[in-house]
Amino acid sequence: MLGAMAEIHITLPDGSQRSLPEASTATDLAMSIGRGLAKAAVAAEVNGAEVDLGTPLADGETVAIITGSSDEGRHVLRHSTSHVMAQAVTQLFPGAKFSIGPAIADGFYYDFELPDHKTFTEDDLVAVEARMREIIAADQPFVRSEMSIDDALQLFADQPYKCEIIERVRALGDVVADPDDDEVALDAGEVATGGTVSVYRNTPEFVDMCRGPHVPSTGRLGVFKLMKVAGAYWRGNEKGPMLQRIYGTAWESKAALDEHLHRLEEAEKRDHRKLAVELDLLSFPQELGGGLAVWHPKGGIVRRQMEDYSRHRHETGGYQFVFTPHLANGKLFETSGHLQWYKDGMYPPMEMDNGTYYMKPMNCPMHCLIFRSRQRSYRELPLRLFELGTVYRYERAGTLHGLMRIRGFTQDDSHIYCTEEQLQDEIASLLDFVLSVLRAFGFTEFTANLSTRDPKKSVGSDEIWDKATDALREGLHRHGLPYKIKAGDAAFYGPKIDIDVKDAIGRSWQLSTIQCDFNLPERFDLEYVGADNARHQPIMLHRALFGSIERFMGVLIEHFAGAFPAWLAPVQVRILPVASAHEEYAHSTAAVLRASGFRVDVVDANDQLGKRIRAAKIEKLPYVLVVGDDDVAAKTFGVNPRGGEVERGVPVDVFAARLAEEVAAGTVLA
RNA sequence: GCCCAGAUAGCUCAGUCGGUAGAGCAUUUCACUCGUAAUGAAAAGGUCGAGAGUUCGAUUCUCUCUCUGGGCUCCA
């Protein structure tokens, strides 16, 4: 049978043997070890000499697969580095228990539990790094072996977390059959399959259960840096033990590491919390309580521009504006179900003579009341209600994060009531609308997530779920939006699309959401009279475009690094008189520009010109205009644009016309 | 909510082995009036996040709380 086929025997760097069909290549070898390694492979080393992956292998050769700077190569590198870290930690902290240590974007982590629940200090990280360098210098081979589940349990007898993983492998059986299924593999502790467990050993003292692959030896690792310690729940279970997680980053070269660290620095410079203070946009006064912001005048201008633009678009987009109060009798939230399901996320009740009141966590119940305020006809549908509605949610303390996760915020919230027949078109036009508005704010790249039904917890018929999900999917196809399906991730009341935007440095932010809701129309007993003169239940769509004004502001700050385009900038133009003699001209031309609707200020000549220019640059103003003797005589400006070349002698009206054009072009008014 | 680390002037930070604090920038005033990224001088500015405990004495040590940062979990 198979035995009839000629075989060759290859020695791997760890000393183990592998049999392959005759004429196999290095790629075939990598495939036989694991698809992960195959993807990572860039070349092979045969008897010490580098060869192409397609080179046929001969019997008796020693072959190492070389991984490169591809994503897969880095994955192997990072995962191997995490093993070395675990080895260093267990050597430096005898009795340390370790759980899992996967590669992640840009790096790796490993979770530990130290004896007596000790925690890692900064100094500990330095010591661990030093020991890791020793291990790397020692160039220890990673030796793979397989063993039965029972043998593995014995080997890891003093490692309770490993034992739990091994037991889980036993329980899962062939569910972990695909070693490239990261989700399952990570869940099961990245181990092998088929009733056996694979382990990698690189010193007599250190062995870790792992499905691999690894670099041939520790000397093949690149450069790494331990970044931080954090707490993490074992298996992500909030009720489970809290482990110590060490995060590290690892790259194939020092240049790649430096580039990564540089990217982190750049991202830090854009941090909206830092820029919000520097640019005097808004603040989070301690006296106010966590997660609550006040908007300063300059932030207020940006916000007003955002809101005005949003209102303009909604007005022309067929929406009707409504206003609703910030708090409501608890009965409303009983009807909507919020009190039943989300009480923990709401601010606590206010007991009043005539009932219990709550801050509203959402606007939808109130919009439903508006829909229900009188009998509705199918001729009114789709009915699109829009509100810049401020809501309050008691987000858990540890989750607050600047403007991105906040307790009081304003949604650009719409609820659309339509018939089943209108659903498809409504979703398609909604997507048009959403993308068009986002483009006006300088975003050009979008991706989407489609969250589908979790049959275990959902309301509404199969038919309506299918119909709505198809409508969402069809809408995404029509726009050619790349999307991922998040199976079972929908809320219980209906499927949804979330839209992510990519910012100027390539980070993704989830902003817009379009959600179908089959629940609230039922709970609020919403109906309309159809053409058939019978009563029907409308379908409800929830839709936020910015998501929240606060969060959107945070994303805009980071996207533009605080350098807002002219139409959004709090101060568009600053005029600097060279000397006191030019102040009168500066103020009078400022008044002219203001009369044209521009936001202009003047800083008199109490400081040197260079200093005032520097201040304006730090404020990231779009235009600095310098006026001196020549300008007063010729009615001109010296124009110093943000990020551009200085231009002397620009006539006042020419500058005004240019700026007007720039501001108008900033907003794509549909 | 959980783990870890923090909180000193508007901002960035130093400092006090327990005896109520200092710099730079910013602010105010004075001088300088300058053509494209930091002129000089002076002044003012702090219950050292809040409360309690230990102590003759606490910004410093201990505890609790609040807020912040990094994660975990959560995000209707």
Cα dihedral sign for A34, A35, A36, A42? positive
ipTM of the complex, rounded to two decimals = 0.94
Query: What pLDDT sits at residue A668?
Result: 53
Q: Would you give the DSSP letter of residue A442?
A: T
Closest CA to A571 of A628, A620, A638: A620
Chain B positions with an atom below 7 A of a protein C-beta are 1-5, 11-12, 26, 31-39, 49, 66-76
Q: CA-to-C1' distance for A399 and B67, Å?
A: 13
Q: Which of A79, A376, A542, A599 is catalytic?
A: A542
CA distance A190 to A198: 9
Task: Tally Cβ neighbours within 10 Å of residue A273.
Answer: 16
Q: Which of A87, A305, A411, A515 is catalytic?
A: A411
Helices (H), A284-419: 297-316, 330-336, 338-342, 364-372
CA distance A302 to A644: 23
Nearest nucleotide (C1') to the CA of residue A291? B67
Backbone angles phi, psi at A47, to 5 degrees: 50, 40
Are the C-beta atoms of A621 and A642 separated by less than 8 Å? yes
CA distance A644 to A639: 10
Q: CA-to-C1' distance for A461 and B17, Å?
A: 73
* Amino acid occupying residue A358: Y
What average pLDDT does range A62-82 have in this prediction? Answer: 82
Burial of A501: CB neighbours in 10 Å, binned 0-12, 13-18, 19+: buried
Are the C-beta atoms of A80 and A102 separated by less than 8 Å? no
Query: What pLDDT sits at residue A188?
Result: 42
| A413 a catalytic residue | yes
Between residues A11 and A243, which one has the greater pLDDT?
A243
Are the C-beta atoms of A566 and A615 separated by less than 8 Å? no
Confidence of residue A5 (pLDDT cuts 50, 70, 90): low
Q: CA-to-C1' distance for A136 and B14, Å?
A: 39
What average pLDDT does range A226-252 have in this prediction? Answer: 91
What average pLDDT does range A473-499 have in this prediction? Answer: 91
Which range scores top for mean pLDDT: A49-58, A288-297, A588-597, A661-670?
Answer: A588-597
| A296 a catalytic residue | no
| A393 a catalytic residue | yes
pLDDT digits (tens, 9 = 90+) for A338-385: 998 888 899 999 998 889 999 999 999 999 999 999 999 999 999 999
| A364 a catalytic residue | yes
Nearest nucleotide (C1') to the CA of residue A289? B67
Are the C-beta atoms of A47 and A59 separated by less than 8 Å? no
Average pLDDT of the residues of chain A? 88
Kindly state the percentage of chain A with pLDDT values over 90. Answer: 59
The residues with which A508 forms a beta bridge, in sequence order, are A502
Q: CA-to-C1' distance for A554 and B33, Å?
A: 41
Task: Tally Cβ neighbours within 10 Å of residue A664.
Answer: 12
Q: Which helix (H) or strand (E) holds A391?
A: strand A383-392
Query: What pLDDT sits at residue A15?
Result: 67
Nucleotide B7's nearest residue (CA vs C1') is A286
Query: What pLDDT sits at residue A36?
Result: 63
Closest CA to A466 of A423, A520, A434: A423
Query: What pLDDT sits at residue A34?
Result: 64
Q: CA-to-C1' distance for A286 and B52, Å?
A: 21
Nearest nucleotide (C1') to the CA of residue A609? B34
Query: What pLDDT sits at residue A2?
Result: 46
Q: Which of A111, A413, A500, A517 is catalytic?
A: A413
Cα Rg, chain A, nearest whole Å: 31
**Model-level pTM?**
0.89
| A9 a catalytic residue | no
Tokens representing A521?
């129309």
Query: What pLDDT sits at residue A667?
Result: 65
CA distance A398 to A412: 26
